[in-house]
Amino acid sequence: MSAGYILAIDQGTTSSRAILFDSDENIAGIAQKEFTQHFPEPGWVQHDALEIWESQLAVAREVLKHSGIPAAQVRSIGITNQRETTVVWDRYTGKPVAPAIVWQDRRTALFCHKLREEGHEPLFRERTGLILDAYFSGTKIRWILDNTPGARAAAEAGDLLFGTVDAWLIWKLTGGNVHATDASNASRTLLFNVHTLSWDEELCRILDIPMQMLPEVKDSAGDFGHTEEEWLGLSVPIGGVAGDQQAALFGQGCMEPGMAKNTYGTGCFMLMNTGEKPVPSTHGLLTTVAWKLNGKAAYALEGSVFIAGAAIQWLRDGLGIIRSAEDTESLARSVKDTAGVYFVPAFAGLGAPYWDMEARGLISGLTRGTTAAHIVRAALESLAYQTCDILRAMEKDAGMDMNTLKVDGGAARNDFLMQFQADVLQVLVSRPHNTETTALGAARLAGISAGMFRMEDFMKEGNFRSFRPVMSAGEAGAKYAGWQQAVRRSFHESSTDQAADQ
Ligand code: ADP
């Protein structure tokens, strides 16, 4: 490894962050700035793309200033970003033509429904690995073109550009010289064929999106141009780009098929590396590009749990039986088990692998002996069981066994939860000391381009704490069977019979 620093730009849904890593991957500085969330109508979520850019530039300058590291020592910039969020801007003025539509925004749900009714879903699913949902960029671009005066004509004339947030930042940083994205971000648009690794003409035609708006799709580690001198005082190469979840997978060192990471936040985000071929899912998981390096893509299966840490928040704010999320650990340990209590936090329906949007939460197995500690313990265990549900589905889809689960996110700090996770999965759970895995992933990609890091470096055992299963397989299986029974009880009545057959 050679000296110098990498500047990781971590553009998230609620804040813009900049993190400096030295050549040993130590953090030399962090700056962070929140920006405004706009909710103009029910179900709509917007960002001001210019505010994203300005806050991102501000934190990049701030981290350099506060750490005292001159920009000349920054060898490369890595960008990781909130995925799917859609920006459309004018290539001549550099101004967004509409507010950025955020991944959470549901305004195109009806349009997606119509496309499904017209029978388009199998084609999108087969080519993009995604489901036809408002979450992804494609229908958001279409909405902007249809609802912004003059936008469609301007797009057809080649005057408008589309980008996910990475492409927008690259374009701004390079002073409009480079309009590019990486394959991991492209694979979240509904327009990208994950088999040919190129924009798909037919899908663009169905969504009525002029292809000249689309950015060039590059390897995740490569040449994304140089920053304008005025931004950081001198020109710095941009060498790495990946969407946030894929960057976390990379930052966690999940380079080989069968390796998976789970981020325990409000919800859980799980990705499993499935290797060189895209694996279709029969359990409602997504197929996505993990990264593209040296012209070759690595793929992943992706699944998410809607309510994870949010269940802990509910114990605090809804039930009032804990004061802080940290309290859950000692309370859970104060009882030897849940005494048969299961907590199914289906507050917003159930996602993969159950897909029952009408399911609702429940606490089962209550007796006169049940205490708050049992309920808290059952809530924590529900995070582990839901993770298990998705990982088992991934293993079935991929036809491979997971060997280690790498973890990060706020609730991964809970040692009780991590031990229970290892027990119920019967695999090693590994938590890195450096929990900035997303930014680290972007920094590693940029470091590869700059010749600072080599892939082999990421395969080594890093600095982490591991949790090994101590529960017997029989006991784990019995507990998990109890969970599956409780989940069935939470199904919407009309789907109970169907689900029981699965
Ligand atoms: P997000 O990025 O989704 O906001 P974070 O990664 O910051 O989430 O994690 C916060 C979530 O983790 C909250 O929902 C909180 O309830 C949960 N959490 C934080 N610390 C703990 C803990 N020690 N035990 C269990 N849950 C926790």
Alpha-carbon separation of residue 101 from 44, 108, 275, 453 (angstroms)? 8, 10, 32, 35
Alpha-carbon separation of residue 131 from 72, 309, 383 (angstroms)? 44, 25, 24
Q: What pLDDT shows up at residue 163? A: 98
Compute the distance from residue 241 Cα to the ligand 1 centre, in Å: 26
489 in the Ramachandran plot: left (φ > 0), alpha (ψ -120 to 50) or beta?
alpha
> Which residues, 6+ apart, have CB-to-CB distance to 183 below 8 Å?
192, 197, 217, 218, 219, 220, 289, 291, 292, 297
Q: What pLDDT shows up at residue 496? A: 46
99: which DSSP letter?
P
| Best probe residue, ligand 1, of 15, 262, 264, 314 (max atoms within 8 Å of C-beta) | 264
What SS3 class is residue 417? helix
| Contact between 96 and 88 (Cβ < 8 Å) | yes
Cα Dmax for the chain: 71
* Residue indicated by tokens 């802080």: 324
Compute the distance from residue 168 Cα to the ligand 1 centre, in Å: 30
288: which DSSP letter?
E
Cis peptide before 257 (omega within 30 of 0): no
Q: What pLDDT shows up at residue 391? A: 95
Compute the distance from residue 414 Cα to the ligand 1 centre, in Å: 9
User: What is the layout of strands, in order, in the sheet containing 100-101?
Assistant: 46-47, 100-101, 86-90, 160-164
| Best probe residue, ligand 1, of 245, 307, 414 (max atoms within 8 Å of C-beta) | 414
Give, using CA atoms, the residue closest to atom 13 of ligand 1.
Answer: 309
470 CB neighbour count, 10 Å cutoff: 8
Amino acid in the structure at residue 453: F
Give, using CA atoms, the residue closest to atom 21 of ligand 1.
Answer: 411
Give, using CA atoms, the residue closest to atom 8 of ligand 1.
Answer: 265
**Which amino acids bring their CB within 6 angstroms of ligand 1?**
265-266, 309-310, 312-313, 325-326, 328-329, 409-411, 413-414
Compute the distance from residue 380 Cα to the ligand 1 centre, in Å: 11
Give, using CA atoms, the residue closest to atom 15 of ligand 1.
Answer: 309
Give, using CA atoms, the residue closest to atom 1 of ligand 1.
Answer: 265
Task: Calculate Rg over the CA atoms of the chain.
Answer: 23
Q: What pLDDT shows up at residue 500? A: 45
Strand partners, 177: none
85 CB neighbour count, 10 Å cutoff: 27
Compute the distance from residue 264 Cα to the ligand 1 centre, in Å: 7
Taking the chain, what is the end-to-end CA distance rounded to the nearest angstrom? Answer: 51
What percent helix, strand, coil does the chain show, rounded to 5?
A: 40, 25, 35
318: which DSSP letter?
I
Compute the distance from residue 309 Cα to the ligand 1 centre, in Å: 5
Q: Residue-wise over 123-145: b if at least 16 C-beta within 10 A, else e?
A: ebbebbbbbbbbbbbbbbbbbbb
What's the predicted TM-score (pTM) here? 0.91
Both structure tokens of 231: 């931004």
Compute the distance from residue 266 Cα to the ligand 1 centre, in Å: 6
Q: Give 19-67 pLDDT, tens digit per residue.
A: 999 999 999 999 999 999 899 998 899 999 999 999 999 999 999 999 9
Residue by residue, pLDDT tens for the chain (502 residues) are: 458 999 999 999 889 999 999 999 999 999 999 999 899 998 899 999 999 999 999 999 999 999 999 999 999 999 999 999 999 999 999 999 999 999 988 899 999 999 999 999 999 999 999 999 888 999 999 999 999 999 999 999 999 999 999 999 999 999 999 999 999 999 999 999 999 999 999 999 999 999 999 999 999 999 999 999 999 999 999 999 999 999 999 999 999 999 999 999 888 999 999 999 999 999 889 999 999 999 999 999 999 898 899 999 999 999 999 999 999 999 999 999 999 999 999 988 888 898 887 889 999 999 999 999 999 999 999 999 999 999 999 999 999 988 889 999 989 999 999 999 999 999 999 999 887 899 999 999 999 999 998 887 787 766 789 999 999 999 999 999 999 999 999 998 744 444 444 4
| Contact between 421 and 277 (Cβ < 8 Å) | no
Closest CA to 389 of 270, 249, 299, 259: 270
| Best probe residue, ligand 1, of 266, 268, 330 (max atoms within 8 Å of C-beta) | 266
Compute the distance from residue 331 Cα to the ligand 1 centre, in Å: 17
Q: What pLDDT shows up at residue 494? A: 45
Give, using CA atoms, the residue closest to atom 7 of ligand 1.
Answer: 410
Compute the distance from residue 255 Cα to the ligand 1 centre, in Å: 26
Q: What angle do CA 76, 79, 157 make, to 5 degrees?
A: 110
Backbone φ and ψ for 418, nearest 5 degrees, come out as -65, -40
Backbone φ and ψ for 24, nearest 5 degrees, come out as -100, 15
